Structure 1
Amino acid sequence: MNRDKRFWLQMKEDLLKVAPELGIDKVGITTAEPFHELKERLIRHRERGHESGFEEPDLDLRTDPSLHLEDAKSIIAIAVAYPSKLKNAPVSEPGKRRGILARSAWGEDYHQALRRRMAKLSEWILERVPEAKLVSMVDTGALSDRAVAERAGVGWSGKNCSILNPELGSWMYLGETITNLPLPPDSALPDDCGDCTLCIDACPTGALVGPGQLNAQRCISFITQTKGFIDDEMKLKIGNRLYGCDTCQIVCPVNRKIDIRHHAELLPDPEVVKPLLRPLLSMGNREFREKLGSSSAAWRGRKPIQRNALIGLGNFRDAESVPDILTVLRADPRPELRESAAWALGRIGTAEALDGLREAREGEESAEVLASIDRALERTDGQ
């Protein structure tokens, strides 16, 4: 590419100006150098058993941009803000208890929203430099979005492991485009967390084991997305969360009063993001796709959402939901749901719930479900 430094500097300035028209709230540029320090942290993270299991297993792919684009020179990091407040939130009440989706699952699936913006960004670049090479990633890509955003000056890495920006807080989606263009890099922002440890102190499960250190195996956000059995301790901690957890972001002082709502497709539907729990239990795949299919919460299917709905009803001790929960315990083919139903009935503890547990025990074959029934009956017998 036969262009001088002034061309690339001007192109960067033009990109910053056009970003809002592309639906992008923040842009930062960094080099395509490997993330050596990150790789060392990831090795220690793995050795401690703190990975979630959702990550790309190849640490080189997560830390070396040149493995995704051979002649990579720069990375363009972008951020798109999403809302943090739920307007006209429906009320949760006995018999009509509700769950909650994390803010990152409000509105349209952010993967789609960001991919459209990054496609527009690529189109804008190619109009000016037709020979440009571009590889874009959003969350599901191997490269670490947060490491790129931090080095590109989009924000600093907070103690809650989120990227924090003075104007957007951590309420933002991240993506990046690796390119062979030699764009002038930005400087990283200074860490402004100071001595604050509110996020670490507020974590419901102690998953934040230190500043910027997360044990994903104890993180509610990750646990709600798993498909298997959840131990009783974590069921209590989950509360009525159906997908994700925002506690460490809600308590962050940087996030206070930040509620950016100028992207229409990211605005939440209150009935979708704070849904009634009982109808979720009998929801089929088609209805699930119709109600939640456009949200990023749908990526794991309906089983985790339905399991978490059972846990929520148990934590609410919602006696009116006992018939619905008993239907799951008696007839659902999925042992993970029957096990959670048994736990919920034990938490509710009414005569109807306990009789249902005893009845279900006679025909149950799953060892995990039988153990859950026995624990539930032991707890109530001892009360």
Structure 2
Amino acid sequence: MTADALSDTLRQTGLRHGLVGFGVCSVEPFGAVRSEMGRRIELGLAGRPRFTYTDPVVATEVSRSFPWAERLIVGSVAYLPAAGTPGPAAPDTGRVARFATVDHYQPLRTGLIAVARQLEESGHRSEVLADDNRLVDRAAAVRAGVAWWGKSTMALAPGFGPWLLLGSVVTDAVLPVSTPMVRDCGTCVACIPACPTGALDEEGVLDATRCISYWAQTPGFIPRDIRRAWGDRLYGCDDCLEACPPGGRLAEGAGSMNGRIDLVELLERSDEELMDTYAHFYVPRRDARFLRRNALVALGHNGTRRAIPVLIRYLESPIAVLRGHAAWALGRIGGKDGRVALERARSIETDPTVVDELEAAARLSEGR
């Protein structure tokens, strides 16, 4: 089989198994991307190094992990309309970003695995990379003509906008490479003012330390200015995606209700139940305290009197980060029961960070 014929067979295989985008690119280092990652790290825009930022050299140089590689076959899947919509805010509930309503990476893996098997049947090596720190998947997608870089830093494609998940198959097959898209966002900057924290303060540059999605996946105390912009989010943030015109039609067609969670019920479940239900979430150290922390912040925005008893119980948690965020939520909700609980907790608290949270919450609750 010729290289052109094999490439066409692989494309048909991928599309038949659910991929909506398919392209091939070289494995030359992504030098410009590596330099930009280094610049963001130096300026503090990347936050705590993780994911591809753990080792930008490995993530931008395929041959570091796969010395035998000749090509990257890049595939994409759209998770809308299947992911649905969380609908309007509702008391005591939180929303999950659409990419995480279920494990939407599974259809992507299915398509990529089918491509990899076809390669192996043709006598070539292959390895699937999906949500893998060894590759900056957006850079590969742009080079392979599957997407273009958006000003939101997301990868965008015609008809799908940013509602895509990306992955690749590394192979030693010397396939013809695809032509990159001749596209960009033009004069559109809709995503930039849509960000609730101003994390997109420069076109094409994300300040991760101001991004709600970043903090939803980061251990420790969430800064109060981020909490104030948090809204009813439990995990992730879709605001810049929802503002993106190329994805508008797909978002409008996602009418089924999905991704809205009862936060009071969540906070009453065991760690084992939470980690089983949300196994596909990236939760730091697989520790449910950080998912609980996110829920506490969301309750600070739309919690009702129904939430107050569980918040008061969390003031007695042995975990400081939960006591502190429960205090913040109670301060936001206000009410006599909450104020009394905050005063009682302050009288016995010894952790200085939590003491500060309790005192700030008491001031916040005045008049509420």
Query: Smaller-chain TM-score range?
Result: over 0.9
Moved more, 99-108 or 55-64: 55-64
Q: For 1:232-381, list aligned pairs within 5 A.
A: 232-259=224-251, 270=258, 273-293=259-279, 295-296=280-281, 300-330=286-316, 332-381=317-366
Q: What CA deviation, in whole Å up to 9, does each residue of 1:3-36 have, x standing for no partner?
A: 7xxx001111122222222222211100111111
Q: Is 2:135 the partner of 1:150? A: no
Counterpart contact for 1:69–1:135, Cα < 8 Å = no
1:105/1:297 contact within 8 Å kept: no
Offset from partner CA, 1:203-260 (integer Å, 9 cap, x none): 1111113111111111111111112101211111111111111100000000111159
8 A Cα contact 1:345 1:353, kept in partner: yes
Q: Does the residue aligned with 1:99 lie in a helix, a strand or coil?
A: strand
In the other structure, the counterpart of 2:51 is 55
Structure 1 residue aligned with 2:170: 178
Change (3 A) 1:254 1:237: same
Q: Is it true that 1:119 corresponds to 2:104 in the alignment?
A: no
Q: Is the deviation greater in 212-221 or in 281-290?
A: 281-290
> How far off its partner does 1:378 sit?
2.2
Partner residue, 1:43: 38
1:226 aligns with 2:222: no
Identity of aligned residues (%): 32
Q: Give the partner amino acid of 1:305.
A: L
What CA distance in whole angstroms lies between the structure 2 residues aligned with 1:252 and 1:158? 9
What is the SS of the residue equivalent to 2:262? coil
Checking the alignment, whether the CA contact within 8 Å between 2:87 and 2:257 is kept in structure 1 is no
* 2:198 matches 1:212: no
CA 1:76/1:206 → structure 2, altered by over 3 Å: closer, same or farther? same
Please list every run of 5 or more consecutive structure 2 residues that lacks an aligned counterpart in the other structure: none
Deviation of 1:347 after TM superposition, in Å, equals 0.7
Are the aligned partners of 2:86 and 2:95 in contact in 1 as well (CA < 8 Å)?
no
Name whichever of 314-323 and 207-216 sits farther off. 314-323
Equivalent residue runs for 1:64-75 within 5 Å: 64-75=61-72
* Contact 1:281–1:324 (8 Å) recurs in 2: yes
Q: What does the per-residue CA deviation read over 1:107-135, in whole Å, with 9 as the maximum and x for residues that have no partner? A: 2252x44333322221111112x2x1223
Residues 194 and 346 of structure 1: is their aligned pair in 2 closer, same or farther, counting only changes over 3 Å? same
- Matched letter for residue 242 of structure 2: I
Provide the C-alpha distance between the structure 1 equivalents of 2:246 and 2:85, rounded to a whole number of angstroms: 24
Secondary structure of the corresponding residue to residue 364 of structure 2 = helix
Displacement after TM superposition at 1:106 (Å)? 1.7
Unaligned runs of 5+ in 1: none
Does structure 1 residue 78 correspond to structure 2 residue 64?
Answer: no
Alignment partner of 1:31 out of 19, 26, 29: 26
Distance 1:275 1:365 in 2: 33
Is the CA contact (8 Å cut-off) linking 2:51 and 2:133 kept in structure 1? no
Q: 1:203 aligns with which of 169, 188, 195?
A: 195
Deviation at 1:55, TM superposition (A): 2.7
C-alpha deviation, 1:45, in angstroms: 1.0
TM-score by length of 1: 0.89
Distance 1:284 1:269 in 2: 26
